[in-house]
Amino acid sequence: MAQASSVESTVGRAFQRVMLAIDDSEATTRAAEYTKALFADRATIRVVTVAQNPRTLFPLGATTQDFLASARDEIVGDSRAALARIEAMFAGTKLEFGLVDLSSHRGNTADALLDTALHWHADLIVMGMRHHHGLLRWVEGTVSEPVARRADCSLLLVPQETRVQTDRRAQRMVFALDGSACSIMALQTGLQLAASDTRLRAVFVVDRASNALVEDAINVLESAYLEEGCTALERAARICAEHGRYAETALLKTHRERDDIPHAIVRDVQDWKGDLLVLGTHGRRGFERWLVGSVAARTVRLADTPVLLVRDSAATAAV
């Protein structure tokens, strides 16, 4: 059995090339703090920002070439200032930098970040995120969602309104399992980010909110989920023990009505005072995504802690 010290020495090895995507928001500040706490001096960090194309920000009829040139200079200047602000936060840490100017590159912000991550061979993208609901969600939108949906690598998303301290490594880490190889891979990856004193918890949610089914069918499904959950949690505990770690486990159940797996996961993280949630994501796209939905995507929208989405690269490659 591995000693705690050997586990401590592996911190940060899960991700060697970390791309921090920034803008001028408070969410970026929280994400940068967390990136520094987790990866400074343990990984190569590249800080990337995207300068918007002024042609997409102003009506063409009201603009001139001189105006566009002036606006572009101001936007690029603001982007460089954002990079300088993050560099100051990482004083003493060697960083790489990238600025993508959409005036000379096709696509939008999400496209630019994804292309940069792909060509730089990032194995993790870190982003701040702002939760939008209702009309604001439709009007303003968000960059983190398309990036999370389409990225070929793992992501660490840090909510702007997170309730946890972002200037330190996780103290209480929660792994949400679904019985798949993907969620086990997420567990093994997340363990490499845990310090020797980080408390660990693995959970499996039995979904009982199946109102469309008759009672007998619900009972059969619940029994199958319970068996699958016990097997998944036993395996998780065994993997942690093989790494010299102890993880408490919990078999959770959704309420019978008006509940789902994402809400059950987030409730447990909050009740246990977890400060990092780790999820495996299969990277579903297209029709399959519409058909089965994405527990990971819906959980991210609800979370008030950082969420590590560990991408199943094999599943992504098969899409």
SS3 track for 6-41:
HHHHCCCCCCCEEEEEECCCHHHHHHHHHHHHHHCC
The Cα–Cα gap between 44 and 93 comes to: 10
Same domain, 116 and 226: no
Single out the residue in 128, 159, 190 at which a domain terminates.
Answer: 159
CATH of the domain at 57: 3.40.50.620
208 inside domain: yes
Same domain, 141 and 221: no
pLDDT at site 216: 60
pLDDT at site 145: 85
Structure tokens at 230: 């016990």
Spatial contact of 170 and 182, defined as CB atoms under 8 Å apart:
no
Spatial contact of 202 and 245, defined as CB atoms under 8 Å apart:
no
Same domain, 8 and 155: yes
Structure tokens at 101: 């100017």
Same domain, 208 and 270: yes
Q: Which domain holds residue 126?
A: 4-159
Q: Mean pLDDT, 10 residues at a time, over the chain (319 residues)?
A: 37 82 93 96 95 75 70 90 96 95 86 96 94 48 82 94 94 94 93 95 86 60 85 96 96 88 96 96 54 73 95 50
pLDDT at site 138: 43
Single out the residue in 159, 187, 218 at which a domain terminates.
Answer: 159
Same domain, 144 and 230: no
What ranges in the chain are assigned the alpha helix state H?
4-9, 26-39, 54-57, 65-89, 109-120, 134-140, 144-150, 181-191, 215-242, 261-271, 286-292, 295-302, 313-318
Cα angle vertex 179, ends 175, 220, to 5°? Answer: 125
What lies within 8 Å, CB to CB, of 188 at 6+ separation is 239
Same domain, 282 and 233: yes
The Cα–Cα gap between 275 and 180 comes to: 23
Beta-strand pair 307-311/276-281: parallel
256 inside domain: yes
220 inside domain: yes
The Cα–Cα gap between 16 and 88 comes to: 22
For residue 29, how far is the Cα from the chain centroid? 16
Q: b/e string for 262-296 if b means 16 or more Cβ within 10 A?
A: bbbbbbbbeeeebbbbbbbbbbbeeeeeeeeebbb
pLDDT at site 218: 65
164 inside domain: no
197 inside domain: yes
165 inside domain: no
Same domain, 15 and 149: yes
Task: Work out how many domains the chain is built from and give that number.
Answer: 2
Report pTM.
0.86
301 inside domain: yes
Same domain, 63 and 145: yes
pLDDT at site 299: 92
Same domain, 83 and 195: no
Single out the residue in 111, 131, 159 at which a domain terminates.
Answer: 159
22 inside domain: yes
Same domain, 40 and 87: yes
Same domain, 147 and 178: no
Residue type present at position 120: W
Same domain, 249 and 218: yes
Spatial contact of 147 and 110, defined as CB atoms under 8 Å apart:
yes
